[in-house]
Structure 1
Amino acid sequence: MIHTTGLARRFHSGRQTVHAVRGVDIDVAPGEVVGLLGPNGAGKSTTLRMLTTLLAPTAGSATVAGYDIRTDPLAVRRRIGSIGQGNGSFDGLRTREELQAQGRFYGLDRHTARRRADELLQRLQLSGQADRDVAKLSGGQRRRLDVAMGLIHRPPLLFLDEPSAGLDPHSRSNLWEHVTGMRAEHGTTIVMTTHYLEEVDAAAQRVIIIDHGRIIAEGTPDQLKSKVSGDLVTVELADPGDRSAAATIAAGIPTAHEVAPGRDAVSFRVSHGDTVTPEIVRALDAAGIRLRGTQVQRPTLDDVFLSLTGRSLREDHG
Structure 2
Amino acid sequence: MVTINNLEVKYGQQIALSIKSPITFETGDRIGIIGSNGAGKTTLVKSILGLTNYNGRIQTNLKPEQMSAHMQENNYVDTMAIKYIIEAILNTKIKSNKVLQELISFFNFENCLNKKFSALSGGQKQRLTIILVLIQDTPLVFFDEVTSGLDFETRQQLMNKITQWYENKEATICIVSHYYEELEKLASKVLILDNGEVVDFGTKEQLFQKYCGKSTITIENNKRNEELSKNLPKIIAPEHLIALSCLNENKELEIVKVLIEQNINFKRSNNDIEIMSINAKARFNGELKGGISNEYKAI
TM category (shorter chain) comes to 0.7 to 0.9
Alpha-carbon distance in 1 for matches of 2:5, 2:168 = 31
CA displacement, residues 156-208 of structure 1 (integer Å, 9 cap, x when unaligned): 21111011113333332332233223322432110110011111111111001
Shift of 1:213: 1.3
Q: Is 2:258 aligned against 1:280?
A: yes
Alignment of 1:241-280 (within 5 A): 251=231, 256-258=232-234, 269-271=245-247, 272=249, 274-277=252-255, 279-280=257-258
Q: 2:74 corresponds to which residue?
A: 87
Give the match for residue 58 of structure 2: 62
Identity %: 22
Structure 1 gap segments, 5+ residues each = 68-74, 260-265, 285-290, 312-318
Shift of 1:227: 2.5
Instruction: Give matches, 1:149-160, under 5 Å.
Output: 149-160=132-143
C-alpha spacing 1:233/1:85, structure 2 compared with 1 (3 Å): closer
Equivalent pair of 2:4/2:19 in contact (CA under 8 Å): no
Among 90, 93, 114, the residue aligned to 1:103: 90
Q: 1:95-114: per-residue Cα shift (whole Å, max 9, x none)? A: 1222222322xxxx546874
Contact 1:120 1:152 in 2 (8 A): yes
TM-score by length of 2: 0.78
Aligned to 2:5: 5
8 Å CA contact retained: 1:31, 1:183: no
Paired with 1:33 and 1:155, the residues of 2 have a C-alpha distance of 14
Say which of 184, 199, 205 aligns to 1:222. 205
- Asked if residue 232 in structure 1 is aligned to residue 217 in structure 2, the reply is yes
Separation in structure 1 between the aligned mates of residue 226 and residue 116 of structure 2, nearest angstrom: 62
Match for residue 32 of structure 1 among 29, 34, 37? 29
Q: How does 1:119-138 map to 2 (within 5 A)?
A: 119-138=102-121
- Tell me, in whole angstroms, the C-alpha distance in 1 between the residues paired with 2:221 and 2:18: 46
Return the TM-score normalized by structure 1: 0.74
Q: Which amino acid is 1:117 matched to? A: L
Equivalent position SS for 1:227: helix
Shift of 1:34: 0.8
Which residue, out of 167, 180, 200, partners 2:163? Answer: 180
Counterpart among 15, 19, 43 of residue 19 in structure 1: 15
Q: Which moved more, 1:35-44 or 1:113-122?
A: 113-122
Aligned in 2, Cα 1:208/1:95: closer, same or farther, shift over 3 Å? same
Once residues 111 and 236 of structure 1 are traced to their aligned partners in structure 2, the CA distance between those partners, rounded to angstroms, is 54
What is the alpha-carbon distance in structure 2 between the residues aligned to residue 40 and residue 243 of structure 1? 31
Distance 2:264 2:67 in 1: 50
1:305 maps to: 277
In structure 2, runs of 5+ residues without a counterpart are 236-241, 284-299
CA apart distance, 1:135: 3.0
Task: Look at both structures and tell me which one has the larger radius of gyration over its CA atoms.
Answer: 1
| Matching residue's letter, 1:306 | I
**Partner Cα distance (2:89, 2:168) in 1:** 22
**1:208 lines up with 2:196 in the alignment:** no
Distance 1:301 1:128, change over 3 A: same
Decide whether the 8 Å contact of 1:124 with 1:174 is kept in 2. no
Provide the aligned length of Structure 1 versus Structure 2. Answer: 272
* Local SS of the residue matching 2:211: coil
**1:169 is the counterpart of 2:167:** no
**Cα deviation 1:210-260 (Å, max 9, x = unaligned):** 1121111112222212223452365999xx6x996x56xx73xxxx4349x
SS at match of 2:167: helix
What is the SS of the residue equivalent to 2:9?
strand
CA RMSD of aligned residues (A): 3.2
**Cross-structure match for 1:72:** none
